[in-house]
């Protein structure tokens, strides 16, 4: 299901890129633009998509000059955007969470990963920041995977001069909840104010429903966090998200978080009492609220340090066995 969803997203983005250009363009240009938009696929794959689109009549070939979108392609693009414009983010998030197979007991299986793209020359500085975050319990799991320049992994291809850091997204925890039989409602992404390392309240919130924009990416790109301040003083603004579970599942949820902690995961979470507000958010009848520090925290911290980085969160599923424990 996730694979098909990703393929449909690739299709839409390629058609959008073609529609935004008045003249034909080639696979190299399209691939570079896809990378900017968070679609890490290689040029060969793009050529395969274009060949398929040409057979469907969605694009027209102009030889060495590249391809252009056809009227049929434009209609296909409009129909696809209309279908996907609402609740795209929430649906994709839940699809990724449902596909998690990682279990704390085995330490194996697929997790949801965030991708941070940066200049290769800044890698050492970035890893130093990640170590500080890990020590401060702001890195969800002490694992990462690096995809170096001109390397590929899964649906990720990194261009020359760049590197990608894959870290564990907290949608992985939602996936573990779901596979353990805990139904949940993923409601908000937001920013939590911390004072003396204690969470006080949400100061910003964006609902996951009815949006095509990942809320926590918005806060990250607007530089609305103060994670470095938290590292230095214990007071700052940290990205987090909020979900609700039935109050009957509270004990099981606490047990899962405890089990993750026992294997080295540093899950900074706040679990509310049944039907009582959590960090300023009213809780539904018969439910408990849970807030967990977001997996975009590393990228937000790097941006605070002045590094030119891009975040794609969440982006894909990764085998935990392919990730390395941080030193």
Q: How many residues does the chain have?
A: 327
Alpha-helical (H) ranges within 99-248 are 123-135, 171-179, 215-221, 227-233
* Measured distance CA(37)–CA(278) in Å, rounded: 35
Q: pLDDT tens across 24-40, in order?
A: 999 999 998 888 777 77
- Helix (H) / strand (E) containing 283: none
Express as a percent the part of the chain with pLDDT over 70. 94
310 in helix, strand or coil? Answer: strand
Query: What mean pLDDT do residues 33-54 have?
Result: 86
User: Higher model confidence: residue 127 or residue 86?
Assistant: 127
Partners of residue 189 on adjacent β-strands: 206, 241
Q: pLDDT tens across 257-289, in order?
A: 999 999 999 888 899 999 999 999 999 899 999
What pTM was estimated for this model as a whole?
0.74
Instruction: Choose which CATH entry (3.40.50.2000, 3.30.70.20, 3.30.70.1360, 2.170.150.70) describes domain 171-297.
Output: 3.30.70.1360
Residues 130, 165 contacting (CB under 8 angstroms): yes
53 in helix, strand or coil? Answer: helix
Instruction: Choose which CATH entry (3.60.20.10, 3.90.1150.10, 3.30.70.1360, 3.30.70.20) describes domain 96-169+302-325.
Output: 3.30.70.1360
Question: Do 96-169+302-325 and 171-297 share a fold?
Answer: yes
Strands (E), 252-323: 269-271, 287-293, 309-319
Angle of CA points 236, 240, 244, to nearest 5° = 140
- Whether residue 71 is predicted with pLDDT greater than 80 in this model: the reply is yes
User: Higher model confidence: residue 176 or residue 76?
Assistant: 176
Q: What is the token pair recorded at 218? A: 């918005």
- In the chain, what are the helix, strand and coil shares in percent, each to the nearest 5? 40, 30, 30
Q: What is the mean pLDDT of the chain?
A: 89
Q: What is the dihedral of CA 26, 28, 33, 38, to 10 degrees?
A: 130
- Whether residue 256 is predicted with pLDDT greater than 90 in this model: the reply is yes
- Whether residue 190 is predicted with pLDDT greater than 50 in this model: the reply is yes
Residue 310 is predicted with a pLDDT of: 85
> In the CATH scheme, what is the code of domain 2-85?
1.10.10.10
Partners of residue 194 on adjacent β-strands: 199, 236
Strands (E), 95-182: 110-119, 143-147, 152-153, 156-157, 162-168
172 Cα distance to chain centroid: 11
201 in helix, strand or coil? Answer: strand
- Domain parsing of the chain, residue ranges: 2-85, 96-169+302-325, 171-297
- Whether residue 1 is predicted with pLDDT greater than 50 in this model: the reply is no
In the chain, what is the greatest distance between 2 CA atoms, to the nearest angstrom?
A: 64
Q: What is the token pair recorded at 30? A: 């399209």
């Amino acid at each position: 299901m996730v694979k098909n969803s990703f393929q449909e997203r690739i299709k839409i983005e390629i058609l959008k890129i073609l529609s935004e250009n008045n003249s034909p363009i080639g696979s190299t240009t399209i691939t570079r633009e896809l990378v900017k938009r968070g679609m890490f696929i290689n040029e060969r794959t793009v050529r395969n998509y274009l060949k398929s689109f040409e057979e469907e009549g969605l694009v027209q070939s102009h030889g060495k000059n590249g391809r252009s979108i056809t009227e049929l392609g434009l209609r296909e693009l409009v129909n696809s955007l209309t279908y996907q414009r609402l609740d795209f983010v929430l649906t994709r998030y839940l699809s990724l969470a449902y596909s998690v197979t990682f279990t704390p007991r085995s330490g194996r299986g697929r997790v949801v990963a965030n991708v941070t793209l940066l200049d290769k020359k800044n890698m050492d500085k970035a890893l130093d920041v990640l170590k500080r975050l890990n020590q401060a319990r702001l890195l969800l799991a002490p694992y990462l995977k690096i995809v170096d320049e001109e390397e590929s992994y899964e649906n990720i291809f990194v261009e020359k001069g760049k590197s990608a850091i894959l870290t564990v997204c907290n949608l992985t925890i939602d996936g573990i909840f779901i596979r353990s039989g805990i139904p949940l409602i993923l409601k908000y992404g937001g920013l939590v104010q911390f004072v003396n390392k204690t969470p006080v309240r949400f100061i910003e919130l964006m609902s996951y429903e009815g949006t095509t924009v990942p809320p926590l990416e918005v806060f990250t790109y607007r530089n609305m966090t103060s994670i470095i301040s938290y590292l230095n003083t214990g007071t700052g603004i940290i990205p987090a998200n909020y979900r609700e579970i039935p109050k009957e599942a509270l004990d099981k949820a606490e047990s899962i978080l405890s089990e993750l902690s026992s294997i080295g995961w540093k899950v900074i979470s706040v679990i509310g009492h049944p039907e009582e507000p959590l960090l300023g958010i009213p809780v539904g009848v018969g439910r408990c609220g849970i807030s967990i520090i977001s997996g975009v925290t590393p990228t937000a911290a790097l941006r605070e340090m002045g590094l030119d980085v891009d975040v794609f969160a969440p982006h894909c599923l990764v085998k935990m066995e392919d990730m390395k424990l941080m030193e």
